[in-house]
Amino acid sequence: MKQEIVSITNLIKNVLFDIFITILVSAIVGYINIYLAIMAFILTAVGFTYFRKYHRKLKLLKAGLEGYYYSFPLIENPKIWKEETNITFKYLGISADSILEFFLEWINSLSATDSKNFYFLLMNPESDSLARQICYEKGLDPKNLTDETKQNIDQYVVAVRGRIRSSIDILKSTHAFRQGRLKIKLHNEFIPWWLYIFDDEKVFLGILKKGERSSNAPLLIITRNKDYPSIFDAFLNYWNSMWENAKDV
């Protein structure tokens, strides 16, 4: 009899324990489900907010913007040229005198059988845009110059003309030019940037800031998007159009 009472007591304890565990587990699971639901809602809301906020930036990345330099050191040029150029190297600038030494070292290091092609668009030394370009670099308005400042600008024009002609002579003396793999043309345009275009696949765009030298220009790196037209195509077409209209040396 005593054993039966003990058994009934144990049974009641076990049943009550099972009920307690069931209630506890249900409560915990319910709490977890509520917590997960709240977290899912918060993450969805945050994700949607950030998607809307950065949607334009994501589009810019898809448009081909690959990188940015606050300033592009001249010493980086040879490394970039070697890494990026397989077929063609296209340049747009004023005189190219700041990169010329590095460029000569690079092309002289190439093998005799190398077949790369090089295209230089330099400013015509007789272009009316040259004085405006110099004023822009000096942070001046060409329409509001004192007589003294105008004389100084005229002296700079003479100096830059000399640098352009010197660059042309040096480029024409290269083996690549004699082989017909290096071509030079002269443009007459004011340009607010300089350009490298590698293999018609990647653009390095140096943004010329008013009042600063081109060697301090911040740099955008833009790649071709093969699925649809992008910023890259605009600059490639811009360069090609200037090349077609430029004057042969």
Indicate whether 236 and 217 sit together in one domain.
Answer: yes
pLDDT at residue 139 in the model: 93
Mean pLDDT, range 3-19, rounded to an integer: 54
3-state secondary structure of 5: helix
E strands, the chain, are: 65-69, 88-92, 117-123, 182-187, 193-198, 202-207, 219-223, 247-248
Give the separation between CA 183 and CA 6, rounded to whole angstroms.
106
CATH number of the domain enclosing 230: 3.30.870.10
Structure tokens at 87: 């077929």
pLDDT over threshold 90, residue 148: yes
Question: 67 or 202: which carries more pLDDT confidence?
Answer: 202
Task: Domain count for the chain, please give it.
Answer: 2
- Report yes or no on whether pTM surpasses 0.85: no
In this model, does residue 46 exceed pLDDT 80?
no
pLDDT above 60: residue 8: no
Task: State in Å, rounded, how far the first CA of the chain is from the last one.
Answer: 121
Residues 190 and 70 in one domain: yes
Q: Which amino acid is at 166?
A: S
Counting residues of the chain whose pLDDT is more than 90, the rounded percentage is 59
What b/e sequence results for 13-43 when a residue is b if at least 16 CB atoms lie within 10 Å of its CB, and e otherwise?
A: eeeeeeeeeeeeeeeeeeeeeeeeeeeeeee
Last residue of a domain, one of 62, 89, 112: 62
What confidence category does residue 71 fall into, taking pLDDT thresholds of 50, 70 and 90? confident
Among residues 62, 84, 110, the one where a domain terminates is 62
Supply the pLDDT for residue 209.
Answer: 85
Residue 125, number of CB atoms within 10 A of its CB: 19
Half-sphere exposure of 195 (CA within 13 A, CB side): 28
Whether 42 shows a pLDDT value over 90: the answer reads no
* Alpha carbon distance 129, 142 (integer Å): 11
Same domain, 55 and 79: no
Beta strands 88-92 and 117-123, pairing class: parallel
